[in-house]
Structure 1
Amino acid sequence: MSATGETVVVLDRPWTDPVRVAAGLGGGDGALVLLSDGGPGGRWSHVATGPDRVHAGAVEATAAFAALRDPAFGPGTVGLAAYDAGARPATGPRAPIWPDLMLARYPAMLSFDHQTRTVRAIGRGRTTAQAEAAARRAAGWLARAATPAAPAAPAETFAAEAGDDAYRAAVADVVARIAAGELFQANVARAWGGRLRPGADPFDAFLRLQQGRASPFGAYWRIGARALVSNSPELFLAFQAATGRIEARPIKGTRPRAADPAEDAARAADLLASAKDRAENLMIVDLMRNDLARVSQPGSVRVEALFAIERHPTVHHLVSTVTARAAAGVGPADLLEATFPPGSITGAPKHQAMKVIAAHEPPRGPWCGSLFLIEEDGGLTASVLIRTAAFEMDGDGGWRFRTLAGAGIVADSDPAAELAETDAKIAAIRQALAG
């Protein structure tokens, strides 16, 4: 019996590759894939379909995650918080381009443990019979596993919403605002958009991203006429309800990978030695410490790792780890309300950075929001939705998409270098969509 009064049944099954299971189920309405690369940053993958409860809509700025407090959205719930829901207290009302908060509860789910190479078929229900039936339904999905197709690039068009000069001008403006004492750092983004070819599907882009570009927090999720494809390397929050441990792993600092091993190592060393990137990272570490302190036991906030290099298929990143111990009574909704949107994609001070971002960007939608899972013990794993594309279905059944990439702008930022950084960050999504 779970803490919410539901019966939970778990069936252990032999290992099956989660991408093959996802390919067998397909990317139709309700399909969910939370896909880890199996590395240190992402032990678990999850696959499900057929949610029994769905919420999608606007929220009040003073209670952005109120719907998450509904016991109906307990363990087995997946949520997507759009960036603009958290930014609105700073930016004021702006027409949303995506629901502020989407939630879906899955009574049947497969969870893949990449470390032990085992699979758990999880079923939930009001009675033991209902939970057993849900667990058997999830276990049955394993038999549908199929070798993923190698789809062609699905995008018919892929174009920047504004020219390079506009982004360089935005960077220069933020640098000037920093020099004037208005703020210390702001993460300013540029956007691309387009349409998929007739008959193409967002799931095609997801499958292409798994071909040599898997990440710790890859994801595909479709609810109705909206779909999300993410290749995020960044953990926003991990919360262990049993122990109260909170972990955040902000990313600040990027270099593109190189094909030559010596050049690749030199680029990683350059990133690690960069005073600019270390200062940028440290500012966000301090911001995350402040955010976590609002919901943590006094004196429990710690920086466990500072300026670690992480290597991903297309980029090197500079990553730090901040931990804390949750105060009594704190749950996922409290934690998200205290820290959202993520500091690594806003800036410092956070409130002023969001105002500056809004002066240069239209609403972001899901990009730089968070995709999260409420876990069996009431804990939480939440990613930062970078390397992410959002899809919406047209009236004629086709799909249009929008994706963004940003860079943290500080006092000595060079507009041309920041533009190049956004090109490096969008590379994997661009290749998946447009080839």
Structure 2
Amino acid sequence: MSPAVVQIDRLDWTDPLAVATGLNRREGALALLAGAGDPAAHGGRWSFVACEPDQVHVGPVEDGAPFDALRDVAFAVGGVVGLMSYDAGARPATGPRAEVWPDLMLARYPALLAFDHARGEVLAVGRGADRREAGERAGQAQAWLSLAVAPPTPSPPADAFTGEAAPEAYEAAVADVVARIAAGELFQANIARGWSGRLGAARDPFEVFLRLSAGRGAAYGAFWRLGERVVVSNSPELFLTFDPVSGRIETRPIKGTRPRHSDPERDAALAADLIASVKDRAENLMIVDLMRNDLARAAVPGSVRVERLFEIESHPTVHHLVSTVTAAVRPGWGAAGVLEVAFPPGSITGAPKHQAMKVIAAHEPPRGPWCGSLFALGLAGDAALTASVLIRTAFLERDASGWRFRVLAGAGIVADSDPGAEREETDAKVRALKEALIGA
């Protein structure tokens, strides 16, 4: 029976990373951390920690309806975390490709902890078929607080971080895309590079998450362990939020990047150069227009608005150019439909989106979950949806020899892109994950 009753108990504050550290080896261990301990840096309010889901779905999806599983009553009730791979959403454009990760992973958590950074309190959230069961689940979540331990900062858990192709091959791909743009085939495409390797013997993926969280946590930091797969994300990018009560949809695409610098004056100059860059502003605007069109498919006519354009966000290793697009949802639309009309995120595909995905497939092996989305539905006892873009993310799978990882980083290629500069941009974007895995 699907949980229909929700109980919420309000508790004193505890560090969510400490609680996640105590639970990280359990099945389904989940930590969604707003800023990984510094949520005020990027406006995050909520962090979530949970484990031991009672419903799990892992597998392929039907082409053309990738989010239908969310419409199943078992998952539509909230307390749900999911991951949709990029390839599942791109397949209508690219055709069948090798599956390197499940199309869709879903898990329902009847017990979880929601950490409200704004109020400085913790909510123990329980869901059940009746009030008794919901209370028991809330009590289970509350008991997890006693397992909190001070999070250590481990040594680098991997020895190698190996490029999957030579840097020159990436520059050649960029040059080809520039030529395609000049020929009128498309306006922009996001082209990625990949790196891979293995963790050392007896090392664990949570150690990567701890190292990312030490002073460089992003707004949508995430650790999710499901079976023999783990996602470790340091994503700064919101795909979208949806509040079914107010009907508000919001998306915040990132386009435009500069590396951070240790010298404050040089760092400020890099940020100023980004905000003044005609190329980066044009690149950002193209994706803003794409996202406006995507949201319009689910929006009340005339409600799509660009609330903020070309804002600078500064993160530990990069500056980004970010814009905000909002809309009011049409009556009858739910979370699954809102996700579906905009997926995959426009910021990591290009414009026109369908053609960009075909060009991406011509230059890259399957992406798997990279640049897909990690989404959470109703974790704070409500029905709100938050979905991140899975950039700055490592994906790990365990085999007989231990844990192997894969990491990607991409850049938006436009008419005046310089192949060498775009390669350097991918180096800047992958820097935090590289340092977390093998050290500086």
Is the structural similarity TM-score above 0.5?
yes
Identity %: 66
Q: 2:64 aligns to what?
A: 62
Match of 2:414 among 410, 416, 419: 410
Q: CA deviation at 1:151?
A: 1.1
Letter in 1 for 2:33: L
Q: Of residues 151, 155, 180 in structure 1, which corresponds to 2:183?
A: 180
Equivalence for 1:20? 18
1:363-412 CA-to-partner distances (Å, cap 9, x unmatched) read: 1011000000001332210000000000001134x000101000000000
**Bigger shift: 26-35 or 114-123?**
26-35
Kindly indicate whether the alpha-carbon contact (under 8 Å) linking 1:331 and 1:378 is maintained by their aligned counterparts in 2.
no
Structure 2 CA distance, aligned partners of 1:419 and 1:433? 20
Do structure 1's residue 233 and structure 2's residue 213 form an aligned pair? no
Aligned to 2:289: 286
Corresponding residue for residue 399 of structure 1: 403
User: What is the deviation of 1:41?
Assistant: 3.4
2:193 equivalent in structure 1: 190
Structure 1 runs not aligned, ≥5 long? none
Tell me the matched-pair count. Answer: 431
CA distance in 2 between partners of 1:409 and 1:265 (Å) = 25
- Check whether the contact 2:24–2:30 (CA below 8 A) recurs between aligned residues: no
Q: Partner amino acid for 2:188?
A: Q
Q: Counterpart of 2:354 in 1: which secondary structure?
A: helix
Which of 418, 423, 426 is the equivalent residue of 2:427? 423
Q: Which runs of 5+ in 2 are unaligned?
A: none
Relative to the length of structure 1, the TM-score reads 0.98
8 Å CA contact 1:306–1:319 kept in 2: the answer is yes
Cα deviation code 1:280-305 (max 9, x no counterpart) = 00000000000000000000000000
SS at match of 2:88: helix
Task: Normalising by structure 2, report the TM-score.
Answer: 0.97
| 1:329 counterpart residue number | 332
Mapped pair 1:261 → 2:287:
no
Q: Supply the distance in 2 between the matched residues of 1:337 and 1:128 (Cα, whole angstroms).
A: 33
The residue correspondences of 1:97-136 to structure 2 (distance < 5 A) are 97-136=100-139
1:241–1:377 contact (8 Å) kept in structure 2: no
SS in 2 for 1:285: helix
**Cα distance, 1:5 vs. partner?**
6.2
What is the letter of the counterpart of residue 63 of structure 1? Answer: A
Indicate if the aligned counterparts of 1:183 and 1:349 stay in contact, CA closer than 8 A: yes
**Residue in 1 aligned with 2:254?**
251
Q: 1:43 aligns with which of 39, 42, 45?
A: 45
1:386 maps to a residue whose letter is I
The whole-number CA distance in structure 1 between the counterparts of 2:44 and 2:418 is 34
The alignment partner of 2:153 has SS state of coil
Q: Distance in 2 between matches of 1:344 and 1:364?
A: 15
Residues 337-358 of structure 1: CA distance to partner in whole angstroms, max 9, x if unpaired?
1000000000000000000000
Name segments (4+ residues, structure 1) moved above 4 Å.
none
- Residues 257 and 194 of structure 1: is their aligned pair in 2 closer, same or farther, counting only changes over 3 Å? same
CA distance in 1, matches of 2:187, 2:365: 22
**In structure 1, how many angstroms separate the alpha carbons of the residues matched to 2:47 and 2:374?**
14
- Which whole-Å CA distance do the structure 2 matches of 1:257 and 1:298 have between them? 40
- The CA RMSD over aligned residues, in Å, is 0.9
Give 1:34's aligned amino acid: L
1:128, distance to aligned residue in structure 2 (A) = 1.1
Q: In the TM superposition, what is the alpha-carbon distance from 1:149 to its structure 2 partner?
A: 1.6
Partner SS for 1:63: coil
Post-superposition CA distance 1:204-224 (Å, at most 9, x none): 100110001111100000100
Shift of 1:28: 3.4
Give 1:274's aligned residue.
277
Question: Which secondary structure does the structure 1 equivalent of 2:64 belong to?
Answer: helix
Contact 2:178 2:413 in 1 (8 A): yes
Aligned position for 2:300: 297
Work out the CA distance in 1 between the residues paired with 2:26 and 2:398.
12
Shift of 1:26: 2.1
The match for 1:143 is 146
Report the CA distance between 1:250 and its aligned residue. 0.1
Q: Which amino acid in the other structure matches residue 295 of structure 1?
A: A
Question: What is the CA distance between 1:7 and its match in structure 2?
Answer: 1.0
Query: Aligned partners of 2:219 and 2:26: how far apart in 1?
Result: 23
Question: Equivalent residue for 1:314?
Answer: 317
Deviation at 1:156, TM superposition (A): 3.0
In structure 2, give the amino acid aligned to 1:321.
Answer: T
> Structure 1 residues 420 and 388, CA, compared in 2 at 3 Å: closer, same or farther?
same
Q: Which residue of 1 aligns with 2:6?
A: 8
- Taking the aligned partners of 2:371 and 2:338, their CA distance within structure 1 comes to 17
State which of 384, 395, 403 in structure 1 corresponds to 2:389.
384
Partners of 1:347 and 1:87 in 2: CA distance: 12
Pair 1:365-2:363 in alignment = no
- 1:66-118 CA-partner distances (Å, limit 9, x unpaired): 11100101210000000000000000001111110110000000000111111
